[in-house]
Structure 1
Amino acid sequence: MTQDTIAPSPTGPLAGLRVLDLSRVLAGPWCSQIMGDLGAEVIKVEQPGQGDDTRRWGPPFLDDGSNDSAYYLCANRNKRSIAIDIAQPEGAALVRRMAADADIVIENFRVGALARYGLDYAALSAINPALIYCSITGFGQTGPMKDTGGYDFLVQGMSGLMSVTGRPDGEPGAGPLKVGLPVSDLQTGLYAAISVLAALNHRHRTGEGQHIDLALLDAQVALLANQSSGWLNGGVAPVRLGNQHAAVVPYQDFACADGDVLVALGNDRQFRQFMTLLDRADLATDPRFATSPLRSANRAVLLAEMDATIAQWQAADLIAAMQAAGLPGGKVNSIPEALAHPQIAARELIHTLPRQDGTEVGFTGFPAKLSASPASYRHAPPRSGEDTRAVLGDVLGLDEAEIERLLAGGVVADRL
């Protein structure tokens, strides 16, 4: 675990850019956190007395008096928080003033909701034509469902993802399942970051900002990948296969005498090597299993033979034998086991940062290692409104008397 210290100024490839983050929950904050990790200044705008919804999505909660949830902490580092009541005209005016000098705005309000405050793309781009404005919604700015609220679980179901996730029909526990992480939100956040970077390059060439319209449903359908391609190009409707692969066999978990082992063999050579390792040369040379398509067509017969053979092994012995042979195999780790894995330690993926009161917050860092402009970790996830005074002074140049007036009028708020 790497213990980071608060850096005096942003560093990284996006240093010098300012992101105004009007989003909450996960997809938008995930995008803005990526921007922050890569050096952008991120100002998180929250509702006074309320804050980001995920602050209360627990347990567990941080034991520092804030009662902020671990869920909130995962997506809000490298940001400063300012609490502004945008429903008050003076509050909306403050956001417009910040947007005038911002490079990027990220928001996930319902379609049209920000227009009544003068904070929609049309209003802000009139003030700042170079602004990149990213709108994240459940179903996009157009279409029959544009006014419908979207949530990760709903989108996992509607997109078809749940239809291919879970045990197959006829097995105990059969039925559609959501993925164990909010992948539709997270993938949308990644697509948002990619889109913002593309828009930045366009602005670099032309000086022109633009509006990015991104939907959770669109992002998840785009990531159906090989499953949607099989239907579009082969007319094959995917089904649930549990831990089996739709095309590659064997590519799944197997039960050893004392636990499960994962086997992921991606080509014919690896299959033959594995059969030799298992002392099953008969399967390696059987013409029914000679190629990947044949193994897929005859999977039931092959897997029955492999099940019986692998059941005689101890899990640790089989994993060690596969590693010695250079074959991809392993175990299903728990989250604590995965975070404590020596490979993760070697990659320096686990970090901690202190909050303003000294409370340490642990997190998994940005995964890519940029040789010339690496990610940096400068601010632990802030308490709601923690930086209200600093942002009003540093960004908008307001004096102490004006800040006190805004606080007294409820236009802005200090930390919860």
Structure 2
Amino acid sequence: MKGALEGVKVLDLTRVLAGPHCTMILADLGADVMKVEAPGGSDETRSWGPPFQNGVSAYYLCTNRNKRSITVNLKIEEGKDIIRTLAKDADVLIHNFKMGTMEKWLLDYNSLKKINPKLVYCSITGFGETGPLKFLPGYDYIIQGMSGLMSITGSEESGPMKIGVAMVDILTGLYAAIAIEAALYEREKSGEGQKIDMSLMDAAVSSLVNVASNYLISGDVPRRFGNDHPNIVPYSKFKARDGELIIAVGNNQQFASLCEAVGINEIALDERFLTNEARVHNKQELTKILEKQLQLKTVNEWIELFSQKNIPCGPIHTIDQVFDHPQVLAREMVVEVDHPEAGKVKLVGSPLKLSRTKPKVDRHPPIAGEHTSEILLQAGFSLKEISRLKENQII
């Protein structure tokens, strides 16, 4: 079965997380992704750890499957020429070098579109290619702080907190994949490629969604609510007899059902809690009432009861519980792949569920330069030329 992006050739000059996550999505969907690194491997995540499996970084493994690897020395002109040769036949080129680097190497969009007008060219930078900060490097943690995400994450007591994963990198990778696919679709009509300018800062600001809208409409600077919701109550984590669970009531009918389930029917008709607006104003008082009743049963007992009454709720799982969960396993969110160095490796599966062109894992995360000769042979290089390039440390 062919993938949805079968036949799309992607030249991937990215490293770390945002770019590699984008290209892994494209690769999972069937694109031929050629990961470009310096000889020996220059993606920093290859050395990030522990943990390692037989010397292979878990971080690197998480976002580089389904790709082929070619190593090229871009500090040498002949190395840049190899990229130009590959770009002639590529559908997509994506990089995350700092602003000005690709221009200095004459590998920028304006240079490459002369040899391939159909090329979709995507850059991922910290702050984008315009504005006063365009030359600054971008790191997820710093962008979480600058974008306001940290200011609304955590509680008043904890102070600003970063999100538990590099979410800005992940979001930027997702947005980049969407933009690339849109540009490829548009190219089918116009016959022309185009440039995509992706920014970690833009992606982070976009992710503020309703919090941003609350500020833009009211002018009130949002504060940290911890596990609470700024607009909806009760919508938080609550203490039961043996642990904590999440209750996410979104309307008055669900609130009435919750009150009935925990044995406080009269509360649903109390003017202090009759509407969501009233519940927001009286959140602390309502929370005390609910948690007193929730002490009567265990987390699992409440979840079973609430689920029967269509009250949105759920447990708070640890990561080991997540990957043992029958729902996660049924959705094939854990896959195994054989790696020539690491051995059998477990990876997170693709969340993209297409009925006819199902994403699949055909290739292990590649060893640096594993497919250099194969890629260059396909590009028209002779074995003699490839041997010379290796001897001269160009590949």
TM-score tier by shorter-chain length is over 0.9
Query: Which of 375, 380, 383 is equivalent to 1:397?
Result: 380
> How far did 1:357 drift?
5.5
| Residue in structure 1 matched with residue 390 of structure 2 by the alignment | 407
What TM-score do you get using the length of structure 1 for normalisation?
0.93
Runs of 5+ unmatched residues, structure 2? none
Q: Distance in 1 between matches of 2:60 and 2:261?
A: 47
2:140 is matched with: 152
CA positional deviation for 1:400:
1.8
Q: Name which of structure 1's ranges 260-269 and 145-154 shifts more when overlaid on structure 2.
A: 260-269
Asked if residue 68 in structure 1 is aligned to residue 51 in structure 2, the reply is: no
Q: 1:38 matched to which residue of 2?
A: 29
Listed one character per residue, the Cα deviations across residues 294-350 of structure 1 (whole Å, up to 9, x for unaligned) are 111111211121122212322221122112222221211011111111111111121
Flag the 1:11–1:222 CA change in 2: closer, same or farther, 3 A. Answer: same
How far residue 52 of structure 1 moved from its aligned partner, in angstroms, is 0.7
What whole-Å deviation, never above 9, does each CA across 1:243-286 have from its counterpart, x for those lacking one? Answer: 00111111111111211111111111111101101000121111
Contact 2:53–2:342 (CA under 8 A) maintained in structure 1: no
User: How do 1:290-305 and structure 2 match up within 5 A?
Assistant: 290-305=274-289
Quickly say closer, same or farther: Cα 1:358–1:221, change in 2 above 3 A.
closer
CA distance in 2: counterparts of 1:135 and 1:336, whole angstroms: 36
| Deviation string, structure 1 residues 126-145 (Cα, Å, up to 9, x no partner) | 11011000000000001110
Q: How does 1:223-262 map to 2 (within 5 A)?
A: 223-262=207-246
Please give the secondary structure, in 1, of the residue aligned with 2:347: strand
Are the aligned partners of 1:289 and 1:295 in contact in 2 as well (CA < 8 Å)? yes
SS in structure 2 at match of 1:197: helix
TM-score, normalised by the number of residues in structure 2: 0.98
Cα distance in 1 for partners of 2:270, 2:210 equals: 28
Q: Give the Cα–Cα distance (whole angstroms) in 1 for the partners of residues 276 and 342 of structure 2.
A: 55
1:279-358 matched pairs, under 5 angstroms: 279-356=263-340
Alpha-carbon distance in 2 for matches of 1:358, 1:330: 36
- Gapped regions of structure 1 (runs ≥ 5): 1-9
Alignment pair present for 1:91 and 2:79: yes
Alignment match, 1:197 = 181
Please identify runs of 4+ aligned residues in structure 1 that moved more than 4 A: none
Letter of the 1:263 partner, please give it.
I
Whichever residue aligns with residue 92 of structure 2, its letter is I
Return the alpha-carbon distance in structure 2 between the equivalents of residues 373 and 49 of structure 1. Answer: 35
2:103 maps to 115
2:147 counterpart of 1:163 = no
Residue of structure 1 aligned with 2:38, choices 22, 38, 47: 47
Alpha-carbon distance in 1 for matches of 2:341, 2:316: 38
Alpha-carbon shift at residue 358 of structure 1 (Å): 7.8
- TM-fit CA distance, 1:95: 0.6
Q: Does 1:56 align with 2:39?
A: no
Contact (CA 8 Å) 2:56, 2:341: kept in 1 or not? no
1:263 lines up with 2:247 in the alignment:
yes
For residue 84 of structure 1, report the CA deviation from its aligned partner: 0.4
Q: Which amino acid aligns with 1:272?
A: A
Distance 1:190 1:362 in 2: 22
Q: Which residue of 2 aligns with 1:129?
A: 117
CA RMSD of superposed structures (Å): 1.2
Question: 1:3 is matched with which residue?
Answer: none
Counterpart of 1:18 in structure 2 is: 9
The answer as to whether partners of 1:68 and 1:383 remain within 8 angstroms in 2 is no
Amino acid at match of 2:195: H
Cα distance per residue 1:57-110 (max 9 Å; x no partner)? 1111121xxx22111111101100011001111111001000000000010001
Q: Which amino acid aligns with 1:381?
A: P
CA contact (8 A) 1:349 1:366 kept: yes
* Higher mean displacement: 355-364 or 80-89: 355-364
Report if aligned partners of 1:11, 1:376 keep a CA contact under 8 Å in 2: no
Alignment partners' CA distance in 1, 2:186 and 2:25: 19
Hey, what's the Cα distance between the residues in 1 that align with 2:193 and 2:216? Answer: 35
Identity %: 44
| Greater mean alpha carbon deviation, residues 295-304 or residues 35-44 | 295-304
Counterpart Cα distance in 1 of 2:6 and 2:285: 57
For these two proteins, the number of residue pairs brought into alignment is 395
In the TM superposition, residue 51 of structure 1 has moved relative to its aligned partner by: 2.3
* Amino acid aligned to 2:226: G
Corresponding residue for 1:188?
172
Distance (Å, rounded) in 2 between the aligned partners of 1:126 and 1:269? 61
Indicate if the aligned counterparts of 1:55 and 1:72 stay in contact, CA closer than 8 A: yes
What letter matches 2:384 in structure 1?
Answer: A
